[in-house]
Amino acid sequence: MAEAGRGASVSLTDLEKSYDRVAAVAGVSLDIRSGEFLTLLGPSGSGKTTTLMMIAGFETPTAGDIAIDAKSVVAMPPYRRNIGMVFQNYALFPHLTVAENIGFPLKQRGVAKAERAKLVSEALELVHLPGYGERYPRQLSGGQQQRVALARAIVFKPRLLLMDEPLGALDKQLRENLQLEMRRLHADLGITFIYVTHDQEEALTMSDRIAVMNEGVVAQVGRPEDLYDRPSSRFVAGFIGESNFLPAIVRGIEDDVVVAECDGALLRALCPGRPATGEKVMLTTRPERLRFTDGAWSSNAPQNRLSVTVTEAVFAGERCRYMLQAGDGTAMVLKEPSSAAIRRRAVGEQAEIAWSVADTILV
């Protein structure tokens, strides 16, 4: 990171928040590096927004500590923390113009009027809304309001920017454009972004690292590809992308590969721990990494194989999607790129599928 130091580092230690003895956040520890784009990803009620609100200072932790640049901020009111924040509904001041909205944080910091006008117009340039300063928020579209909220959050050059589902209310096309813009902005500013979303695709596209949250705790932290390829739990495997789950019984361990029996077949899976022989486990694999063995696909990598029956076949344009059933009744999904050269399967057909051991994870 060439410009390290422009972004704040944030460190959460055993952070907890309870409402009437119900824990919303139940012990979160997380180190966010300077200049990082970190996403808190989880279903609603997982504690991701509460965690963000505690970092911003709008909620007081029941226990634990929050340190920004190694300095505890738990006792500091929000208006002294110098953090930029974009709210889900933008929270633009309806009685102020766009320019006054963006100038608001500067005014609080005693920036002189001329300087303020200069910084505001610079911020408007940055979010591609030059000349919109005299309008009122209600005269703008949702996407434009979102940009104004973003401009207001960065105009005072904070070292940390928090965003609470900022794209949630926008349509898909606009959301995808703004995702790319946020990435670009993150690269330009070099400051730390903490982003909250329940949209796994958004998280995968934008983040340097993702912290997947569930029931008030962090289930797994890692780069998007780590989370996708090596989910550490059934929850993460199911929440990020689509997964097949195969119940199996451990039969042995070879080096760092677990051999487990599933529906009479011996399957091999990667596993960080060392489960005992005879233990009931769950193997997971991604639908797009399964192949029919009599198809055009072949690989020299070690493979798992399983006999299945096709129960449903859906042609979805760019790919075909098959619902499969193994002999023990386990349902699976297989996704195959569509090609006129690949024979399409019929419902009721018997087939053998294969996938590489590296794509099989024990969770």
Q: Which residues bind another protein (CB under 8 A)?
A: 56-58, 77-85, 87-89, 91-95, 104-105, 108-109, 138, 152-153, 156
Q: Distance between CA 229 and CA 223 in Å, rounded?
A: 10
Q: Distance between CA 51 and CA 13 in Å, rounded?
A: 12
Which of 331, 311, 344, 318 is closest to 245 using CA atoms? Answer: 331
CB of 58 to another protein, least distance (A): 5
Given the complex with another protein, which of 35 and 84 has the nearer CB atom?
84
Residues 147 and 127 sit within 8 Å (Cβ to Cβ): yes
Beta strand segments in 8-69, E = 10-19, 22-32, 37-41, 63-68
CB of 87 to another protein, least distance (A): 5
Given the complex with another protein, which of 21 and 172 has the nearer CB atom?
21
Strand partners, 244: 285
CB of 116 to another protein, least distance (A): 13
Given the complex with another protein, which of 80 and 343 has the nearer CB atom?
80
In this structure, the chain runs to a length of 363
Given the complex with another protein, which of 138 and 172 has the nearer CB atom?
138
For residue 123, give the 3-state DSSP assignment: helix
Strands 160-164 and 84-86: parallel
CB of 111 to another protein, least distance (A): 11
Structure tokens at 61: 């932790």
CB of 251 to another protein, least distance (A): 55
Given the complex with another protein, which of 109 and 343 has the nearer CB atom?
109
CB of 158 to another protein, least distance (A): 10
Q: Distance between CA 197 and CA 349 in Å, rounded?
A: 41
For residue 299, give Cα distances in angstroms to 200, 270, 296. Answer: 30, 18, 10
Given the complex with another protein, which of 89 and 299 has the nearer CB atom?
89
